[in-house]
Chain A
Amino acid sequence: MRSRVLFARLAPLLACVGLLAVWQVAALTLNNDSFPTALDSIRAIPSILGDKEALINILASLRRMAIGFGTAVLVSIPLGLLMGRSRSVASFFNPLLMVIYPVPKAALMPIIMLWLGVGDLSKTLVIFLGVSLPVIYHSFEGAKAVEEKMLWSGAAMGLSAVERLVRIVLPAALPEILTGCRTGLVLALITMITSEMIARQSGAGNILFNALDMGQYDTVFAMIIIIGGMGIFLDAAFERMRERLVRWSEPQFDIPLSFS
């Protein structure tokens, strides 16, 4: 039992080491300039993180991501919940969302850049759009599934319609909402990099693609490791918070799907 717990703890680490080992062997056997070894790439990390310019760029990316994600969540949760509880709100927004849903948000980037320039605003807007849809969708599904009798119980206790939405629908749908937010968080990272790939001006994605242009392949792979690491860290941190918030809803024998 103890060894199993220990294994569960170490598993993510082992997975990373294994992946790096495969990479190392593959790079050594292929011996290709554009495919540096894992060790060379890791060695390039400190010089990137030590560089003030690069650090500012990465922090600027993270800031845009935080703002885009935060505003998207703040707008999408109430909208999704309202859509899940009100037929008229749902039928008003549904056509709009159905049109936006399948469009890759990065594909909108050129138009957005045309209107809003290549600065922070465009990139943050793309992140916002990328995060919104899964959060709206999951909030909507969560709100729709709230047991009617639970709302009736609240109404009998004297809760108004707005109070019921905030104090019953929101907590009842929280597990579903947070599932949407978790997807949204990863999408935020993806759209963040993509937006910087299109609007090449600053940011983590910009460092990556500049290095690619200049043939600095160890920097390219180092950036991939850094960005991937950020993703893994953010997801694990979010998952830890989510678990704490919805402990009341988890089935007894849950299989966790996270690195936390």
Chain B
Amino acid sequence: MFVSDVEKAASMNLMPSRSDLKAEAAPAAKPTIAMIEIDHVSQVFQTSSRQDHLALSDISLTVDDGAFVSILGPSGCGKSTLLYIVGGFVAPTRGTARMKGNPITGPGPDRGPVFQEFALFPWKSVLGNVMYGPRQQGVKAAEAEAQSRALIEMVGLKGFEHFYPKELSGGMKQRVALARTLAYHPAVLLMDEPFGALDAHTRTRLQNDLLNIWERDRKTVLFVTHSVEEAVFLSDKVVMMSRSPGRIRQIIDIDLPRPRRRTELLLDPRYQKYVVDIERMFDDAGDDELQP
């Protein structure tokens, strides 16, 4: 629904590389607002040995309101860094990131990060972690607790409310991190491999739950993953990045009907073609660290 007719026709053949998506927004079927604009952003890090390291090079990307955009790319290509810039945690060396047209100057509850490292509060129980955001936003304790318990149940951790993070497995921590961010209802979700540590079954379940929340609450999602299948399954757009320096190599619109059901999609030749084409493209470039 966020894809132009021109692209629909071309969807079987992957679109050529574009560095600026704004040009493409012209004949859209439905007017869309840019939720996030990343405008010629570069990021240079100083390493401890005082060398400049170009982590991101001239990234431009527009994410429409309500869009689900995945970022795919080899390890170290700057996916996390890009999320940090949108989150306002890191100021880009060059270029600007905007949210609803306003330059992003710092973090805020409108953008909820789910970090690759979970970053749970170890002194809080599962329930305490999930309730933290709503309580900070001034939600009454009883109400925050009820909402949080429902979210904990959704991520499949019912019965673990009073466990501390050190008593959880990696996959369980990841699910708490997801619930903690969902709990304060950010308009934009910035998810950094949120399902990386999960078994196939739990991963599928949470993918479906995430899609339900996304469709229900009209959220905008920026989703980093290493899994091509996951990216194709979830997204409206897949951003493919390459490494050294981190660049956008290609943006691919995924024109598959919604609501999507995994079992149906797996048999759908269009889905299969997206997956195979994307994997081929990474193979061609010799980015061996990408694990589908």
Hey, which bits of chain A sit against chain B, CB under 8 A? 147, 149-150, 152-153, 155-159, 168, 171-172, 174, 246, 248-249, 251-252
Cβ-defined contact, A150 with B123, below 8 A: no
- Interface, chain B (partner A; CB < 8 A): 84, 87-89, 106-109, 111-113, 115, 117, 119-124, 132-133, 136-137, 164-166, 180-181, 184, 186
Contact pick for A156, options B112, B117, B165, CB 8 Å: B112
Known: A248-B165, A251-B166. 13 other contacts (CB 8 A): A147-B117, A149-B119, A152-B87, A153-B119, A156-B107, A156-B109, A156-B181, A156-B186, A172-B121, A174-B123, A248-B122, A248-B124, A252-B166
Nearest Cβ in chain B — how far from A171, in angstroms?
A: 4
Which of B89, B121, B181 is in CB contact (< 8 Å) with A168?
B121
Q: Is the CB of A157 within 8 A of B119?
A: no
Which of A152, A159, A252 lies at the interface centre, i.e. has the most chain B CB atoms within 10 A of its CB? A152
Q: Give chain B nearest CB distance to A138 CB in angstroms.
A: 17
Of the residues A147, A152, A252, contact of B107 by C-beta under 8 Å? A152
Contact residue among B109, B120, B123, B186 (Cβ-Cβ distance under 8 Å from A249): B123
Closest-CB distance, B18 to chain A (whole angstroms)? 30
Complex Cα–Cα for A192 and B266 (A) = 75
B109 touches A149 (CB 8 A): no
- Nearest first, the 4 A-B pairs at minimum CB distance are A149-B119, A155-B107, A171-B123, A157-B133
User: In the complex, A156→B187 CA distance in Å?
Assistant: 12
| Residues of the A chain whose Cβ atoms lie less than 8 Å from the Cβ of B165 | 248
- B117 contact from A149, A155, A157, A158, Cβ within 8 A: A149
C-alpha gap A147/B122 in the complex (Å): 11
Taking a contact as CB atoms under 8 Å apart, the answer to whether B108 and A158 are in contact is: yes
Q: Kindly provide the distance from the CB of A175 to the nearest chain B CB, expressed in whole angstroms.
A: 9
Chain B proximity of A28: nearest CB distance (Å)? 52
